[in-house]
Chains A and B, each alone.
Chain A
């Protein structure tokens, strides 16, 4: 064996044990029958995958895609101006980047819990609004799609900002000057030069937000209050309360396939080729 292969060995073992093997198990479970107290039994069947075509589950799949897409769009709308601002902040660039990364210093779980305290009836937002006499009764901010969306956008915004910033930072300032020189006003320059030239960052950031949002479990669970079910919650439910492991496995397989297909489509696009 070559020296290079020896160095790759730990990674290979790791990937085999903790990626390939579990994936194979999930695949296998999708085609088995549920056991009475959880677990799986013979015989092999396609029934689990067929059940996913049930309108109830299709609705959950659709909802997940919709919410993830909306979260991605919001991240792009908030993250693009932010990334543009940071890329032009001169010496303060690093400070602002640190601030974007600051939330990662605490755990994802704690940060999501914090939103419970901000959005609940006696939470920060409602208290402030009530004190200002702007509202008579608390606004229903928690346990709905809006709360889930807020949590997702909050948690995944940095994943959009970082690749977007990296692309905008490399944008040649002369291109912006050239556009202006040729008669383009600032908005036209943004639309016709800055955005097209930084499209690879836009695509990379969107993928980094959309894929984890599609499989989000914790945020809809805590902030959706069980009412706002996404695909991740369905999977979790099947393995715990419903004790239907094969169906849960089938649902997660579909989730992975959906993400993989989306990524494949993006990687084939021209923008992604420019990026890689």
Chain B
């Protein structure tokens, strides 16, 4: 099957810096993909090149097997949910959703637009203007507006960044459910690793304009391809050349046998409800964090301990 999107060695230069540096990426139809990276890593620029808002300096973009370099956004069968939502302020929620259908001269616009509003559970607010909608509602309208035109690929630019934390978590599940229901390929740009891990089938981790790793959340988390990926996705303790996740790091009073270990002192114990984070200072001055079950929270601050881990849990990089 033809991939819905293929980027081939895409480069984007802006005056004075290279925003995207030799990015290649293939997205299969019907998946939920995430593009994860810190701000300024080139993920939004990549998204804008797919949407047609920027043209690549070099390389090619294929949609459905056809090169789309040079095509304008209105000539591409993709749609973007903008970070600011970009709802048309003079149109109602329904009017916003109908916009793309009107442009395509589709029959039965209102029924289809209403169905899209129902999909995002906002049919009751059809006649509200954007100024009368909350942030979460605006975001749903923006989503419905893009979904209703049934694009080959839906691009979401930090769609949850402007929502409050509770709503953000709720929307994660909803976005994923909507993606499954519609079968449209989603490509989500985010700097939030939890968002990328929890929603995507496959994710690309970007840094300084390059894709450092492309894989399933499990692969990327458990077998990070670089120090950057290991450090960006979740916390990590560095013991010399080896990285160990906090949940694989153990703390004990007695010296363990047969496993790699370090001497250290408990600096603080943070009770997080479902677990405890023990922060320790090692002999060489480095710090390490161990995520342990609540019942192991019996260490005193300043107490001398052994920090140890299983060799199989070590992450090693060139």
Contact = CB atoms under 8 A, between A and B. Distances in A.
B is a partner of A: yes
B145 interface: yes
A192 B99 contact: yes
Given A174-B84, A180-B73, A197 B99 contact: no
Interface string B84-105: 1011111000000001100110
B53 A177 contact: yes
A182 B79 contact: yes
Main secondary structure of the interface of A (DSSP, over half): helix
A28 interface: no
A177 B86 contact: yes
A196 interface: yes
B88 A197 contact: yes
A181 B79 contact: yes
A54 interface: no
B53 A182 contact: no
Given A180-B73, A185-B74, A172 B100 contact: no
B86 A178 contact: yes
A203 to B, nearest CB: 13
Interface residues of B, number: 23
Contacts of B72: 180
A178 B82 contact: yes
Interface residues of A, number: 18
A182 B90 contact: no
Given A177-B86, A193-B88, A197-B88, A183 B80 contact: no
A182 B149 CA distance: 8
Contact of B74 (A174, A181, A196, A197): A181
Contact of B86 (A175, A188, A196): A175
Nearest to B48: A177
B51 interface: yes
B88 A183 contact: no
Interface string B169-185: 00000000000000000
A182 B103 contact: yes
A193 B317 CA distance: 52
A179 interface: yes
A130 interface: no
A272 to B, nearest CB: 14
Contacts of A172: 84, 86
A114 B126 CA distance: 57
Interface in A150-185: 172, 174-175, 177-185
Interface string A177-215: 111111111001000110011010000000000000000
A18 B103 CA distance: 55
Contacts of B78: 181
A236 B151 CA distance: 66
Nearest to A185: B74
A181 B47 CA distance: 13
A179 B91 CA distance: 12
Nearest to B80: A181
B105 to A, nearest CB: 10
Contacts of A182: 74, 79, 99-100, 103, 145-146, 149
Given A182-B100, A182-B149, A183-B100, A175 B53 contact: no
A1 to B, nearest CB: 40
A87 to B, nearest CB: 17
A183 B78 CA distance: 10
A99 B9 CA distance: 46
Interface centre among B84, B90, B99, B145 (most CB of A within 10 A): B90
A177 B104 CA distance: 17
A173 to B, nearest CB: 9
B156 to A, nearest CB: 12
14 contacts: A172-B84, A174-B82, A174-B86, A175-B88, A175-B89, A178-B88, A180-B73, A181-B52, A181-B74, A181-B146, A182-B99, A182-B103, A182-B149, A184-B99
Given A174-B82, A181-B146, 17 more contacts: A174-B86, A175-B88, A177-B53, A178-B82, A180-B52, A180-B72, A180-B73, A181-B51, A181-B52, A181-B53, A181-B74, A182-B100, A183-B104, A184-B103, A185-B74, A196-B90, A199-B90
Interface of A: 172, 174-175, 177-185, 188, 192-193, 196-197, 199
Q: Which 4 A-B pairs have the closest CB atoms?
A: A182-B100, A174-B86, A183-B103, A178-B86
